[in-house]
Chain A
Amino acid sequence: MNPQMPPKLSLPGVKQVIAVASGKGGVGKSTVAANLAMALRMSGHSVGLMDADIYGPSVPIMFGLGAVNPQTTPFPIEKFGIRLMSMGFLVSPEQAVIWRGPKVAQAVQSFLAQIDWGQLDYLIIDLPPGTGDAQLTLSQSAPLTGAVIVTTPGEVSLIDARKGVKMFGEVRVPILGIVENMSYFVDTAGNKTPIFGVGGGQKLATESGVPFLGELPIDPRVAECGDGGEPIVRKYPDSPVARAYMTLAQVVADAANRPNAGALPQVQL
C-alpha cells in the first residue's frame, strides 16, 4: 500500500474519535488514554480504545491482557466494558516490532478499518510519541473529532508537546485541549510538591490558544494500577487522581460534542 494514498475511512457507528497525543514520550499518554476511556465508560458511554503505538503498545498490560491467537480471537477484545485493540494482542511482549513507517501506517489503518468497532460514543486513540507515520495516517484518513495533548509541567516536555500542537494545527485537527500530567505530589499532610516544575500545561494552552483541561496529580497507585492491569479510575474511584479523570472525561466529552467545521467539500470535476 502506498502510504501517501491514505484511503478515506469512515466509522459510521462511532460518534466521536479522539486522539490522545503528545510530542514527548513518557508523559503518560497511555495512562491518560486508558483512564480517560475508563472514566467515559464509567460515565455511562460506550467506549473503544485503540492503541496506535505499534512499536511500544501498552494497552494490553494496562488492562491485564496479553498476546492472543488472532486466528481464534475476535477483535476488538472487551475488558471492563471497553473495546480494545492493540498491536500487543498480536505480538508477544518479548518480541519487538521492527518495521519501517509504511508498515506502521498500514497497521494503524487496518486497526481502524478492519476491526468491527460497532456502535461507540467515543473511540479513544492512544498515539505514539512524535509527529510521524501514525499521527499523519490518522490525520489523513480517520474522521478525528479532535486531539487531547498530554504534557508534563516542565519545559523539556513542553518543547515536544508544542510540536504536537503545531502538527495538529497544520493538518487542521481541532485540539480539544491540553492535559497536564504529573503536576504535583500530595503528601499525607496535604502539601502539594511540584516534582517536574509548575504551570507548563497552562502555559502551552495559553500560547496555543486552546483550552487547558486540567492537572493530574502524581500518585504511586497510578503506576501500580497500570502495571496491575486495572486503571486507577476503576480500582480507586475515590482517589484524587480518579476524581480528576472523571472531571477530565466530562470536559473532554463537552469539548468533543461541540460542533466543529467537519469534513471538506467534495470537488465537482
Chain B
Amino acid sequence: MSAELRPVSLKREGDGLKIEWSDGVVTTVAWRKLRANCPCASCLEERSKPADPFRILTPQEVAAGAPAPVAMAPVGYYAYQIKWNDGHDTGIYPLELLRKLGEGTDV
C-alpha cells in the first residue's frame, strides 16, 4: 500500500463502514467483520487458539447484540480506534488493515 493512499471520508452505511479512498476506490466492511478482525493483542491471542465449541458469551456480548461501534476516532496519522457496543475498545485498526478488510467490495 502506498504511503500516499489515505481515506477521504468514512461513514456508517447500513451495518458497515464505508470508506472512500484517495485512489477513488470505495470499500464497505461490515461491522461484524471489523469486530471479528480486531487487531488488539488479546483478540489476536484469542484467534490464534483453536475455536472453543463451548464458549459462553459474556453478559456484555449478550446485551450488546450485533457488533456496532459506539465511537471511532483517528489515531495519529495511521489508524482508527473503534469503541464497540460490547465495551471492547483496545483495537487500533491501521489504514492498511481497513483497506485489506474491504478488498473486493469496490463497486
A: which residues have CB within 8 A of B?
2, 4-6, 8, 139-141, 144, 169-173, 261-269
Size bracket of the B interface? 20 to 34
Q: Which of B8, B69, B75 contacts A265 (CB 8 A)?
A: B8
A141 surroundings in chain B (CB, below 8 A): 76
Please give the distance in Å from B64's CB to the nearest CB on chain A. 16
A171:B92 contact, CB within 8 angstroms: no
B3 surroundings in chain A (CB, below 8 A): 169, 172
**A267 CA to B74 CA in the complex, in Å?**
8
Task: For A8, give the chain B residue with the smallest CB separation.
Answer: B73
B78:A171 contact, CB within 8 angstroms: yes
B: which residues have CB within 8 A of A?
3-4, 6-12, 17, 40, 69, 71-81, 89-90, 92, 94-95
Q: Do most interface residues of chain B lie in helix, strand or loop, or is the interface mixed? A: strand
B10:A265 contact, CB within 8 angstroms: yes
Task: For A3, give the chain B residue with the smallest CB separation.
Answer: B90
A266:B74 contact, CB within 8 angstroms: yes
B8 surroundings in chain A (CB, below 8 A): 265
Q: Which of B7, B10, B72, B75 contacts A6 (CB 8 A)?
A: B75
A269:B7 contact, CB within 8 angstroms: no
A264:B77 contact, CB within 8 angstroms: yes
Please give the distance in Å from B48's CB to the nearest CB on chain A. 19
A169 surroundings in chain B (CB, below 8 A): 3
B77:A267 contact, CB within 8 angstroms: no
